[in-house]
Amino acid sequence: MFISIRYKLFATLLTAVVAVVVGMFFLIYWNFGRGFLNYVNTEEAKRLDSLAVNLQEAYADQGDWLFLQENPRLWHQFLAASTPEGHLQFNPLEDLVIIREGRNRRHPPGMGSGMMQGRIQPRDFQEKMKHLFEFRVVLLDADKNVIMGPRRFPAADMKTIPLKQASVPVGYLGHIPQKDLFAPHQLQFVEQQKKSFALISLLIAALAALMAFPLASRLLKRLNALAGATHQLASGKFDTRLEIGPMDELGQLTRDFNSLALTLGKNEQGRRQWVADISHELRTPLAVLRGEIEALQDSVRTFTPEAARSLHSEVMRLNRLVDDLFQLSMSDIGALTYRKENVDVLAILNQEAELFRSEFTEKNISLTLNVQPEDEIYIFGDPERMQQLFDNLFSNSLKYTDPGGTLIITCQSAAGGTEILFQDSSPSVPVADIDRLFERLYRVESSRNRASGGAGIGLAICRNIVEAHGGSIAAESSQLGGVLIRINLPSGEKT
């Protein structure tokens, strides 16, 4: 099933937001519960401080704790008075006047300890009541015996506050801090806050859902533009370009797309130019052959040795062009075989120079080889391909150097390899065209023409041969007024 990336991105953004909101909800709820529990314990600590002050004042007035044992109701009044609102309703210190008038008076039945000494309550009621503050506070004497409060009190969890008179402990106020929330009003408050947190989380999630879809659409706007441009590029519209925009990942991708479109456009233009040039190059010798043969057939021209030589020349020219194209195509697809070995490049260079020397002399071009015959410079290469390389370079200089010119060849060891220089005299090549000399079928019209017999393939083959040997070849302007071809090849070992 096809699902648009817009909806996938929307679902991703929404899932991430919901996950964060849910995590925040539980974290805030947990933190609120702990904070509220700390708040409750802090309030109880204030009650204990108030209760301790009242008890110390009562002990100072009575001199012992007997007044509480004789009047347990007074203990509950002390507990009630420790609340923020209780001290306005109860003042247990006023009841101490009654105790001074008659300490032996007993309270009638039912006026004893109230909750402490009342009738036995059901178990579930006791379970609920034990969490109240009044059931978690106990009054101890100086020997830490229980005076008021629950008799079964877990001493391990109890925290005590000393009650002193003249810096001497006369008792202790024991208290067990609340570990969980149990009071109905506390639980109700926490539940209300939980519902509020849940409602706020739902609102945030809903708002995120409303914002996620437009945001996903905005993020995909550039991606959709890139997808549309890619479809145009695939259909052959290589002039398609996109506005780069912000330099983020999509901006980088857009810039790469524009570079790709430019490269494909150049390649397509080169391919068309290649086909046009090949067609033109093949048509010329074929047209000449056709004209010569038709002239012979129509008896316009008699078959003579000169006519035979003309036909043979055009056939050889056509054969050279086809051979060059074949060599170049084989090199492009990596089908040319290379049988590399350690060879003396100077020996091959001298051999090729001697083969071309007569042709250079016939055209009145000076050929100078700046090496000593006894020198040896080895490279790791294919001897036949090296001969082909030098043959193309000598032929190129022979074709495009004006009569009376000069060709100087230098071969020397360089850092980590061998450097070979071919520099000839005029005509020169415009600086803007020098880097294009190694393009297939490329010719500078002012200096290279069809009359010279070149098709602009030789230097392209030279580049492929040099690169196959791990070297580099480049062209630049020569000090002699022509072109300098610089070749760098890795060195070999002398055998």
pLDDT in tens, 90-119: 555 555 544 444 444 444 433 334 434 444
Q: Are residues 254 and 272 in the same domain?
A: yes
Q: How confident is the model at residue 1 (pLDDT cuts 50, 70, 90)?
A: low
Note whether 319 and 389 are same-domain residues. Answer: no
Rounded CA-CA distance 487/183 in Å is 94
Residues 346 and 325 in one domain: no
Q: In terms of pLDDT, which residue wins out, 442 or 34?
A: 34
| CB neighbourhood size of 303 (10 A) | 12
Is the per-residue pLDDT at 260 higher than 60? yes
How confident is the model at residue 245, as a pLDDT? 75
Instruction: Name residue 195's amino acid.
Output: K
Q: Which of 184, 213, 232 is the last residue of a domain?
A: 184
Determine the Cα angle at 312 with ends 384 and 286, to 5°.
95
In tens, the pLDDT along 127-143 reads 555 667 778 888 888 88
Q: 3-class DSSP state for residue 166?
A: coil
Q: pTM higher than 0.85 for the full model? A: no
What crossing angle do the helices spanning 305-332 and 249-297 adopt, rounded to 10°? 160
State the greatest distance between any 2 C-alpha atoms of the chain, in Å, as a whole number.
Answer: 166
- In this prediction, residue 408 carries a pLDDT of 92
Domain total in the chain: 3
Tell me how far apart the alpha carbons of residues 119 and 135 are, in angstroms, rounded to a whole number: 16
Do 318 and 345 share a structural domain? Answer: no
Q: What token pair was written down for 357?
A: 């020397």
pLDDT tens digits, one per residue of 224-254: 888 888 888 888 888 888 888 777 777 888 8
- Confidence class for position 124, pLDDT limits 50, 70, 90: low
Query: Do both 62 and 107 map to the same domain?
Result: yes
Q: How confident is the model at residue 165 (pLDDT cuts 50, 70, 90)?
A: confident
Whether 212 is covered by a domain: the verdict is: no
Determine, yes or no, domain membership for 317: yes
Res 129: pLDDT: 59
pLDDT tens digits, one per residue of 310-332: 788 778 877 877 877 777 777 66
The DSSP call for residue 491 is B
Give the C-alpha separation, 396 to 392, whole Å. Answer: 6
Residues 22 and 61 in one domain: yes
Q: What are the CA-CA distances from residue 475 to residues 221, 411, 430, 485 (Å)?
A: 46, 16, 11, 5
User: In which domain, by residue range, is 397 found?
Assistant: 341-490
CA distance 200 to 207: 10
For residue 152, the 8-state DSSP code is S
If one compares 104 and 462, the residue with the highest pLDDT of the two is: 462
* CA dist 127 → 120, 121, 122, 132 (Å): 13, 10, 9, 10
pLDDT higher for 77 or 329? 77
In a domain, 241, yes or no: no
Confidence check: pLDDT of 409 > 70 = yes
Does some domain include residue 211? Answer: no
Q: What is the CATH number of the domain that holds 291?
A: 1.10.287.130
| 3-state DSSP assignment of residue 117 | coil
Whether residues 457 and 345 share a domain: the answer is yes
Res. 421 pLDDT band, cuts 50 70 90: very high
- What CA–CA distance (Å, rounded) separates 489 from 116? 107
Lowest mean per-residue pLDDT among 285-294, 328-337, 339-348, 351-360: 328-337
**Cα(185)–Cα(248) distance, integer angstroms:** 55
- Looking at the fold, whether 26 and 74 belong to one and the same domain comes out as yes
Q: Is the pLDDT of residue 6 over 50?
A: yes
Looking at the fold, whether 370 and 437 belong to one and the same domain comes out as yes
Q: CA 103, CA 101: separation in Å to the nearest integer?
A: 7
The Cβ of residue 54 has, within 10 Å, a number of other Cβ atoms equal to: 19
pLDDT at 299: 77
User: Do 61 and 96 meet the contact criterion of CB atoms below 8 Å apart?
Assistant: yes
Q: Is residue 43 part of a domain?
A: yes
